[in-house]
Amino acid sequence: MYSSLLDAPVNTDLILLQVTNPALEKWMKHMGLFTGGRLIRHDEELNFNSVRVRGKNGDVVIPAGMVMRLYIHLESGEKIPLNQMKKGQEGHVEIHSGGRHIEKALVHLGLPLNGNLRFIRELPHMDYRVLINRRDRTRLSEGEAARIWGHYPGKDATQFYFAKKGLDFEVTEVMGGPRGVNHLETHGVTIGTQLTLESIDPAHSLHGHGPEINPVPISSPGGMRFFLTPEKAGEVIVRVAT
């Protein structure tokens, strides 16, 4: 069974069958997405941005998948979703809509329930090009990098989001629920893995194919992410891989 990318299931391997818009087809080929090849449509958490905040452990990054589940009680008394906070606003974590994995991750970040935080800024979508155990390469999103906890030899533990180019980083924990942990395992990221950052690049949204609002996020088999407007996603025909 086939459908447009707009109607395709999320977080599922898809086969690209046809692109009905020639200009879009040319752009997708340029980005390495060809007819007969595979891609994944991601869920709405990639339409949120990871954010940088300051808590009792200093500056930390909250991945997009957690941002969409957190609510903050501001000093003014107002309660708002974390993604609606403005630079410099302060408050405390009031409640979250996730499970125990979210709560554990928040404690790890120094942001427990009722813990104070200061909003620093929303972060752009980025692709981390990473060498795994000095052998294999993969790409990670900025949110995935923020879920990875570890350290450099002789240094304090930190998030891989703050990785330094060319240095070997040992993974000691992957934060989040089973789905997120399993997804990173498909990239080769597990406890004990050695990661070496090669480069950080903006996630691709080119030639008007990616919008500012309500994008449809997809990725290539290599992990590179792209953002299409709903209109453009409707011009991409796919089927579920078997």
Q: Give the rounded percent of residues in the chain with a pLDDT score beyond 70.
A: 93
Domain assignment present for 149: yes
Q: Are residues 132 and 192 in the same domain?
A: yes
The pLDDT assigned to 208 comes to 46
Q: Report the SS3 class of residue 78.
A: coil
The pLDDT assigned to 98 comes to 67
Decide which of 90, 122, 154 is a domain's last residue: 122
Domain assignment present for 33: yes
Mean pLDDT, residues 180-204 taken together: 90
Q: Count of H helices and E strands in the chain?
A: 6, 18
Render pLDDT for 6-35 as a digit per residue (tens, 0 to 9): 999 988 899 999 999 998 898 888 777 899
Domain assignment present for 116: yes
The pLDDT assigned to 204 comes to 65
Domain assignment present for 56: yes
Q: Report the SS3 class of residue 242.
A: coil
Domain assignment present for 211: no
Q: What is the radius of gyration, based on Cα positions, of the chain?
A: 19
Domain assignment present for 161: yes
More confident residue, 218 or 238: 238
More confident residue, 41 or 220: 41
Mean pLDDT, residues 53-76 taken together: 90
39: domain CATH number is: 2.30.30.90
Contact 20, 235 (CB under 8 A): yes
The pLDDT assigned to 97 comes to 64
Residue 182's φ and ψ, nearest 5 degrees, are: -65, -35
Q: Are residues 118 and 76 in the same domain?
A: yes
Q: Are residues 25 and 6 in the same domain?
A: yes
Q: State yes or no: pLDDT of 211 exceeds 50.
A: no
Q: Report the SS3 class of residue 67.
A: helix
Q: State yes or no: pLDDT of 217 exceeds 90.
A: no
The pLDDT assigned to 136 comes to 92
Q: State yes or no: pLDDT of 212 exceeds 70.
A: no
Decide which of 89, 122, 155 is a domain's last residue: 122
Domain assignment present for 64: yes
Count of domains forming the chain: 3
Q: Are residues 56 and 105 in the same domain?
A: yes
Q: Are residues 142 and 194 in the same domain?
A: yes
The pLDDT assigned to 206 comes to 43
Q: Are residues 28 and 74 in the same domain?
A: no
* HEC assignment per residue over 101-165: HHHHHHHHCCCCCCCEEEEEEECCCEEEEEEECCCEEEEEEHHHHHHEEEECCCCCCEEHHHCCE
The pLDDT assigned to 45 comes to 61
Mean pLDDT, residues 215-219 taken together: 83
Host domain of residue 22: 2-43+216-240
Q: State yes or no: pLDDT of 213 exceeds 70.
A: no
Domain assignment present for 207: no
Decide which of 77, 94, 122 is a domain's last residue: 122
Q: Are residues 163 and 135 in the same domain?
A: yes
pTM, to two decimals: 0.71
Sign of CA dihedral 162, 165, 167, 168: positive
Render pLDDT for 75-91 as a digit per residue (tens, 0 to 9): 888 888 898 899 999 99
Sign of CA dihedral 229, 235, 240, 242: negative
